[in-house]
Amino acid sequence: MNRISLLDCTLRDGGYINDWNFGHDELICLYERIVSSSVDIIEVGFLDDRRTFDINRSIMPDTDSVERIYGRVDRRKAMIVGMIDYGTCSLSHISKCEDSYLDGIRVIFKKHMMQEAVAFCGELKKLGYQVFVQAVSITSYSDEELRKLISLVNEVEPYAVSLVDTYGLLHQDSLLHYFNIMDNKVKPGIGIGYHSHNNFQLGFANCIDMLETKSDRHLIVDATLYGMGKSAGNTPIELLAMHLNNRFGKNYDISQLLEAIDGNIMKIYKKHPWGYNLFYYLAASNNCHPNYVKALMDKHTLSMKSINNILANICNEKKLLFDANYIEGLYVEYQSCECDDSEDLNNLSHNLSGKKILLLGPGQTIQSEETIIREFIDNNNPVVISTNFIPGAFHVEYVFVSNSRRYIHILNDLKEYKNRETKVIATSNVTEAQGAFDFVLNNAALLDLEGSVTDHSFVMLLRALLRVGVADVSCAGFDGYSEDDENYYKPDMEYWFSRRKAKEFNKYVIDELSSMKDRLKVTFITTTKYMY
Same domain flag for 96 and 118: yes
Residue 76 forms part of a structural domain: yes
Exposure of 96 in the CB half-sphere (CA atoms within 13 A): 3
In this prediction, residue 64 carries a pLDDT of 97
Residue 164 forms part of a structural domain: yes
Same domain flag for 194 and 112: yes
Same domain flag for 330 and 361: no
**Contact yes or no for 11/30 (Cβ under 8 A):** yes
Give residue 123's domain range. 3-271
Same domain flag for 230 and 260: yes
Residue 250 forms part of a structural domain: yes
Residue 155 forms part of a structural domain: yes
For residue 400, the cross-strand partners are 387, 425
The kind and range of the H/E element at 115 are helix 114-126
Residue 347 forms part of a structural domain: no
Q: What is the DSSP string of 1-66?
A: --EEEEEE-HHHHTHHHHTTB--HHHHHHHHHHHHHTT-SEEEEEEE-TTSPP-TTBSEESSTHHH
Same domain flag for 7 and 141: yes
Same domain flag for 363 and 299: no
Same domain flag for 302 and 385: no
In a 3-state reduction of DSSP, which class is residue 381? coil
Exposure of 151 in the CB half-sphere (CA atoms within 13 A): 7
In this prediction, residue 335 carries a pLDDT of 75
49 backbone dihedrals φ, ψ, rounded to 5°? -75, 0
Same domain flag for 305 and 359: no
Residue 346 forms part of a structural domain: no
pTM value is 0.69
Which of 271, 298, 314 is at the close of a domain?
271
CA 317/CA 109 separation, integer angstroms: 17
Q: Each residue of 394-412: b (16+ CB within 10 Å) or e?
A: bebbbbbbbbbbbbeebee
Q: At 303, which amino acid appears?
A: S
CA angle centred on 423, ends 418 and 427, rounded to 5°: 125
pLDDT string in tens for the chain (532-residue length):
569 999 999 999 999 999 999 999 999 999 999 999 999 999 999 999 999 999 999 999 999 999 999 999 999 999 999 999 999 999 999 999 999 999 999 999 999 999 999 999 999 999 999 999 999 999 999 999 999 999 999 999 999 999 999 988 999 999 999 999 999 999 999 999 999 999 899 999 999 999 999 899 999 999 999 999 987 899 999 999 999 999 999 999 999 999 999 999 999 999 999 988 888 888 888 888 888 998 888 877 677 778 888 999 999 889 988 999 999 889 888 877 778 899 999 999 999 999 999 999 999 999 999 999 999 999 999 999 999 998 888 999 999 999 887 887 787 777 665 556 789 999 988 877 666 789 999 988 888 877 777 889 999 999 999 999 999 999 999 999 888 878 788 877 766 666 778 888 899 999 999 999 999 999 999 999 998 7
In a 3-state reduction of DSSP, which class is residue 427? strand
Same domain flag for 361 and 243: no
- Which burial class, exposed, middle or buried, applies to 24 when counting CB atoms under 10 A from its CB (0-12, 13-18, 19+)? middle
Residue 344 forms part of a structural domain: no
- Distance from chain centroid for Cα 384: 39
Same domain flag for 371 and 515: yes
Long-range contact set of residues 142-151: C-beta below 8 Å, sequence gap at least 24? 143/181, 145/111, 146/178, 146/181, 146/182, 147/181, 147/185, 148/114, 149/114, 149/118, 150/181, 150/182, 150/185, 150/186
Same domain flag for 248 and 164: yes
Same domain flag for 255 and 330: no
In this prediction, residue 303 carries a pLDDT of 72
Measured CA to CA in angstroms, residue 93 lies from 86, 88, 97, 103 at distances of 13, 10, 12, 16
Q: Domain total for the chain?
A: 3
Residue 278 forms part of a structural domain: no
**Contact yes or no for 269/226 (Cβ under 8 A):** yes
